[in-house]
Chain A
Amino acid sequence: MKKKYVFLLLVAALFFWAAGQTRIGLTKTRERQNIVLSDQSANNPPFIVLTTVALGGFRGLVVDILWMRLISLQKEGKVFEIAQLADWITKLEPQFATIWAFHAWNMAYNISILYSNPELRWLWVKNGIQLLRDNGLKYNPGEPILYRELGWIYQHKIGQSWDDMHVYYKHKLAKEMDGLFRGPRPDYAKPNSKIQIMRAEYKLFPEIMRSIEEYYGQLDWRLPETHALYWAYRGLHSADAGKDTSLCDHMICQSMAAEFLQGRLLINPDAGIYVSAPQLDLLPGTIKAYEDAMKRQQMDIFKMAYVNFLSEAVFVFHVYGDDQNARKLFDKMLSEEPKFKAQMNFEKYLLKCDHFNITELPMADAVAWIEGLLYQGYSNPPDQRQQNAAELRERALNLWKQYAANPQNRKSSEIFPAFEMLDEQAKQRAKHK
């Protein structure tokens, strides 16, 4: 009998050792595949520790069941529960950045589009933002992909015009930010009572906002592109060593280019006014963004994007009557891409710009062109003003009519500003010159 027990004990010990050996291999595979819980788990809240540790092997099973329910509910068009299920799934797998990214995207894009009510759509876009901002980044502060995904919702979903309710989102965001700052940006010197809300709810840290503005130039925080820039900037500076940050650099460059083209905002949500026009002061900041990215990432794509931006900037400065700066930018473009030297000179390029078909231009360029002509009229020396202003205004009005009449621009029609508004913007710009 005693021998039997000794034998069983030995067998048990052997199996115990074998299990330990298997675990070493498994742990290594997990580390290789990046599916191991990181050291941050020590700082995670009790709920996360409970779900990730106490559930043990059953965690995967629970996650599978939740995924299946989520998919079936979404198929049936019953989306009430999706936010809840996404919350649980992500908390059961908190270290998988792609899961956070998927659920945020699913809510902001796939689910929001199901609603025809703009308020409910905005709610789902915000649900996607909140999932990443409030939880995803809390558990994965060193994952640049999550910062990029969050910035993408601002830049693409809210900032661009693919969603037919993008104007509503823009107004909502601007109104929320206006409620915090009472203007385009916070007064960093005199922090008000809203600072706490900025930090706690929106995760907008004034010290980071300030350093962004000091580096890139003054920004309007009511614009979605500014938020995209903020999150990409944070992603770039919070990324764990060895993580690919090129997507954050992409976003910084794209956001700055958008800020340059449409960073000057005239807004009145109650009257439905949302006019964005070029913010020419942001040129140095935008150039810095591209040059930093080219240095950091050593990727050809950044150089191509920079050359494209410079060509667009030449056009913008030209339409605002600043051919001196336009020439400097053109020379910069040629120094970056010398092969253009043989094909084009400055005069030829300006002539080409003057013959662009406005209906084929993106709305930001079209607005820049029209407002630029009006601005020229207001900013010429007083003796020339009367003579030129009428001519330039006539040309601007013709361009405005052409653009507004084109059915291709239907999607942007809600925010393609009235001519009078552009006129007013141009007048203000000339006054502040």
Chain B
Amino acid sequence: MRKIAAIAALTIRSAIRSRVIAVAAAAIIAVIIGLPFVIKGDGTPESQSIIFINYSFGLLMFVLSLTATWCGAGAISLEIGERQIQLLITKPLRSVQIWAGKLLGLMTVNLVLLALGGALISAMIHWTLGTAETNKTGQNDLRRKIMTVYRAVPPLKASGLQSSQAAISPGQSFSWRFELTKRTTGAQFALLKFRFIPSPFSHQTPVAGVWRAATEKQADLLNKTLSNSPNMTVYLNIPKIDPAGILKLEYQNIQTNPAVTVFFPSGNDLSLLIPESSFEANLLRGLIIGFARLAFFTSLGMIAGTLFTFPVAVFASLGLLAMAFSGGFVRQLAERGLSTDTSCEQFSIIAFMLNDMVRVSFRFFAFVLSPLERFDPLAFLPDSLFIPWSLTGQSFAVLCCLYPLILLLIGAGCLRRREVGISSV
């Protein structure tokens, strides 16, 4: 262990010397402090705060992922290129120890930078809320809105139905049931989050409906007639929900003139949000997931650096990084390939083969990168959704332990077999 720690210390020292860390730290500070001054929301302080959380965390993760991949790629390949690795391999060290030491050193650097970024985000969000142009009550409301994190409770699937989708004709009603856990006991309030699509689709003006909610002990928890615009995510306040049990929610479509049918397309478009935690605690969980993602990128860079020279390693690992940040692009290519219409007669056999090759290779990438999509703090933080500890733990286990361990074994094996003392022209 001491050997690993010594290599980790050497790696930290060389990372600091390389100035990449200083540049990354400066970029993080500049971006997070400068963001509130360039953000232009819709004119409300709420939008300003939400956009700040989204962009600052996204940029923090982007800068750190880039740094992690770059440093990871250089950790082994540069040492081989500059003949410094010879000092290490001539010592009684196993390649696994060299690899693990370097990974540990880089992860320490990641941790420091991530902590710096997290602290800055937290400080700046408080500053943004404090300077919001609103009165005292408005500021308290805003603070409560932004600094409270909610657990999303999806509706239970009705028997005989595949999902919680609903199509409600004019004059008709539909009910959903939500299972309230003991955690909800004593909750000050809950929010009903919903979004619907109208039929006819061209109907864009508000649609009238009645929302009713009741639990076994509270018969009249909610009874509200509302006119809401289609396609718009709406949050409706439900007063104190006390007992654990089942909450029954009913929507009655009273939009008869003109007649509009209302669709709730999926469970994502209707959920009950229960206050669960504070923003800071959620940010901490988000940062832990972010740390796990950085462990993955660092190991990825290191494996590329073990196999190739520095420029090739950087190119290959940054390519994978770009894919990871490309949203649904990889998944789309994995599912469809390059062409969306392969039924066409003019589609030649070569094009078919090319398309299949692309599909197969992107299926591999989609498989490798799938945990990154699953463990994405940005799917939770801007929407004030609670990041469960279980998800945080899983992300740590998969991205920070399992993946790096597999890559460590592969990397150490490659390093052992690689001819590192070869002379250059």
Contacts and interface: CB of A to CB of B under 8 A. Distances in A.
B169 interface: no
Contacts of A127: 42-43
A126 B43 contact: yes
B51 A115 contact: no
Contact of B228 (A78, A84, A110, A116): A116
B42 A124 contact: yes
Interface string A92-128: 0000000000000000001001111000100110110
A166 to B, nearest CB: 13
A81 interface: yes
Greatest chain B CB density within 10 A among A82, A84, A87, A120 is at: A84
Interface in B153-201: 195
B233 A78 contact: yes
A76 interface: yes
A287 interface: no
B227 interface: yes
A79 interface: yes
Interface in B203-217: 204-206
A interface majority secondary structure = helix
A81 B229 contact: no
Interface residues of A, number: 22
Contact of B40 (A87, A120, A124, A126): A87
A32 interface: no
Contact of A82 (B42, B195, B232): B42
B232 A115 contact: yes
B50 interface: yes
A123 B50 CA distance: 17
Greatest chain B CB density within 10 A among A75, A83, A87 is at: A83
B233 A84 contact: no
A80 B51 contact: yes
Given A80-B50, A81-B51, A164-B205, A116 B229 contact: yes
22 contacts: A76-B195, A77-B233, A79-B232, A80-B41, A80-B42, A80-B47, A80-B51, A82-B42, A83-B42, A83-B43, A84-B39, A84-B40, A84-B41, A84-B51, A113-B204, A113-B205, A114-B229, A116-B228, A120-B42, A124-B42, A126-B43, A127-B42
Interface of B: 39-44, 46-47, 50-51, 54, 195, 204-206, 227-229, 231-233
Given A87-B40, A116-B229, A123-B44, 18 more contacts: A75-B231, A77-B232, A78-B233, A80-B50, A80-B51, A82-B42, A83-B40, A83-B47, A84-B39, A84-B51, A110-B204, A113-B205, A114-B232, A116-B206, A120-B44, A123-B42, A123-B43, A124-B42
Interface of A: 75-84, 87, 110, 113-116, 120, 123-124, 126-127, 164
